[in-house]
Structure 1
Amino acid sequence: MQVRNKDSLVGELEMDYVELSSNRLVMTMPVGPKTQQPAGILHGGASVALAETAATMATAMNIDPQKYHPVGMEINANHVRSKTNGIVTATATPFHKGRTTMVWDIQITDENEKLICVSRCTMAVVPKK
């Protein structure tokens, strides 16, 4: 399933949504020149962008988009393995789904299910004005 905004970071980094549900969101991102640091490995910032995008969309699946915006409040990431090419997959699952905040666990793995990065992202559920 492709839900890509060509004129955004999601589009620039070629992120794709694979599975969208209220309790699990899966997306992929290629590892290549757009997502590598100068040493030729996956840039930690690209992993964090993938993780926050997954948490944002997962939050959006749990709120009324006519009334609320999902907004990142805090994110952390531990980069546990390097990756030079291929595809990484982010899987977001909830730690907490509240009325005004949500906390997501995001595991980023490679094609062999090896853990590349683990992240936790706290999202605010902000009323639209």
Structure 2
Amino acid sequence: MTEKETKLQALNDMCKNTLNETLQITYTDLGEDYLVATMPVNERVYQPDGILNGGATMALAETVGSPTSMLAIDLNKFSVRGIEFSANHLRSVKHGNITATGKIIHKGKTIHLVEIKIVDDRGRVISLCKLTNYILAK
């Protein structure tokens, strides 16, 4: 198993018995400054009118945003806490999968700003989110 595969497996393993498992979120790719996860759009994440709930979209974004910062720090010395989150929902989705890609756009010593772009199966942006993470010394 490659280092990348090992990290992805570790991320997915830490999500057992969490909201990630409930929403069927899976980490699928990562790099030094980005992380990717997918989530199926089905009855688990619908609003009453049968489209993707914006809150579920935001849960996916948060699920990518905080660990994106975690990958960029020494977890033996620091931890990550999200302190501000914003989302612009641009289109609705009824079925398929959505994919979130988080990228650090500012990496300070104590603050990271992560942009999370969420796309549908056709590559159309459905939401654009920003998460500010505070990096805490342990």
Same fold (TM over 0.5): yes
Runs of 4+ in structure 1 deviating by more than 4 angstroms, as ranges, are none
Letter in 2 for 1:23: D
Q: Provide, for residues 47-75 of structure 1, a one-character-per-residue CA deviation record: whole Å limited to 9, x for no partner.
A: 11111111111000011111211111101
Q: By how many angstroms is 1:94 displaced?
A: 1.5
TM-score (norm. length: structure 2):
0.88
| Map of 2:4 onto structure 1 | none
Structure 2 residue 47 is the aligned partner of structure 1 residue 47: no
> Within 5 Å, which residues of 2 pair with 1:9-24?
9-24=19-34
Q: Deviations over 1:100-120 (max 9, x none)?
A: 110011110011001110001
**How many residues of Structure 1 are paired with residues of Structure 2 in the alignment?**
128
**Structure 2: how far apart are the matches of 1:45 and 1:84?**
15
Query: CA contact under 8 A between 1:21 and 1:58: conserved in structure 2?
Result: no
Identical amino acids, percent of aligned pairs: 38
Q: From the two aligned structures, give the one with the greater helix fraction.
A: 2
Deviation (angstroms), 1:6: 2.4
From 108, 115, 119, give the equivalent of 2:125: 115
Please list every run of 5 or more consecutive structure 2 residues that lacks an aligned counterpart in the other structure. 1-7
Alpha-carbon RMSD across the aligned residues, in angstroms, is: 1.1
Deviations 1:77-98 (A, max 9, x none): 0110000111000011121011
8 Å Cα contact 1:28-1:90 kept in structure 2: yes
The answer to whether the Cα contact below 8 Å between 1:26 and 1:90 also exists between their aligned partners in 2 is yes
1:89 and 1:8 mapped to 2: Cα distance? 19
8 Å CA contact 1:25–1:54 kept in 2: the answer is yes
Match of 2:114 among 104, 110, 115: 104
Matches of residues 62-101 of structure 1 in structure 2 within 5 Å?
Answer: 62-101=72-111
TM-score (norm 1): 0.94
Q: Tell me, in whole angstroms, the C-alpha distance in 2 between the residues paired with 1:46 and 1:106.
A: 14
The equivalent position to 1:27 in structure 2, one of 33, 37, 49, is 37
Amino acid across the alignment from 1:73: I
Shift of 1:35: 1.1
